Amino acid sequence: MQLSTFVDRLDETLGTADYADLDASANGLQVGPDEGTVEHVAFAVDGVEETFERAIAADADALVVHHGISWGGFDRVTGRTYDRLAPLIEHDLALYVSHLPLDGHRELGNAAGVADALDLENRTPFGELGPEFIGQRGTASEPYTPAELRSRLESALEPDGNPVQLLEFGPDEIDDVAIVTGSGTDWLDEAVDAGADALVTGEGKQQVYHEAREAGIHVALAGHYATETFGVRAIQERVEGWETELETSYFDVPTGL
């Protein structure tokens, strides 16, 4: 498959253009030639030296990640930036990035994956960011107790061997759940205003403890990395379903954070 065709197809699938003015990440093709072909696509959460090296060792032609290397552009290609870019260029490894588009996608997104794991129904977009959304909200098929919600998240997300931290300030039964993966505690007020019993996200900020306590809502901190593996895995499955013969690989490089 032509690299340009591969990129265009992913951009259309993920609605990349819709987030162009909202995301600090340069979504889409971040590194790659104008012309090229793709036979083997690798997938990972983070675009870093370790995943680049693993993709190169697997003889991949492109690597699709959630967190890329360009956040507002480069002033200089030196130091760590040079070290990250060099293997991509030297080995003709294209880098495709989908940050916020992959958080908010209704079917393939990270929040959608967490909602699937929690068996949430009646889902609606959540996590407003300008005209778009980066999360989901839904109702549990059967209400969770706080302990059951923690256990379900730990079982489904396998958060790098670390327990899910649950700030237990909400009701005894959790029915309405809001999700923004990664670093999503900035949407706590939106969750409260929506009547959610719990906000599920990856990592928190110190002040969220008191904000959640005062608002009477549970906050589950399930790990930034752990909550954001769903999107790239879902894209991998979608690509494998294309009528092509693309080989794929997935590289799990958990951070414990």
Would the pLDDT of 196 be above 90? yes
Does residue 162 register a pLDDT over 90?
no
Task: Give the pLDDT score at 160.
Answer: 66
pLDDT given at position 5 = 96
Per-residue pLDDT tens digits for 29-57: 999 987 899 999 999 999 999 999 999 99
**CATH architecture label of 3-98+229-250:** 3-Layer(aba) Sandwich (3.40)
pLDDT at 159 over 70: no
The predicted structure's pLDDT at residue 247 = 96
Question: Where are the domains positioned within the chain?
Answer: 3-98+229-250, 103-226
**Which ranges of the chain would DSSP assign to H, the alpha helix?**
3-14, 49-57, 79-90, 100-104, 110-117, 146-157, 188-194, 208-215, 224-227, 230-241
Question: What is the arithmetic mean of pLDDT over 183-204?
Answer: 97
* Continuous segment of H or E residues that includes residue 63: strand 62-67
Q: Is the Cβ–Cβ distance between 22 and 100 less than 8 Å?
A: yes
Binding residues for a divalent metal cation: 66-67, 103, 224, 228
Confidence (pTM): 0.95
How many angstroms from the chain centroid is the CA of residue 133?
13
End-to-end C-alpha distance for the chain, whole angstroms: 36
> Same topology for domains 3-98+229-250 and 103-226, yes or no?
yes
pLDDT digits (tens, 9 = 90+) for 60-115: 999 999 999 999 888 888 998 899 899 999 999 999 999 999 999 999 999 999 99
How far apart CA 44 and CA 64 sit, in angstroms, is 6
Task: Dump pLDDT digits (tens) for 10-32.
Answer: 999 999 999 999 999 999 999 99
Give the Cα separation of 155 and 152 in Å (integer).
5
Give the residue numbers of the binding site: 66-67, 103, 224, 228
Condensed to tens digits (0 to 9), the pLDDT of residues 209-246 reads 999 999 999 999 999 999 999 999 999 999 999 988 89
With 80 as the cut, is the pLDDT of residue 161 above it?
Answer: no
Tell me which of 3.40.50.300, 3.30.365.10, 3.40.1390.30, 3.40.50.2000 is the CATH number of domain 103-226: 3.40.1390.30
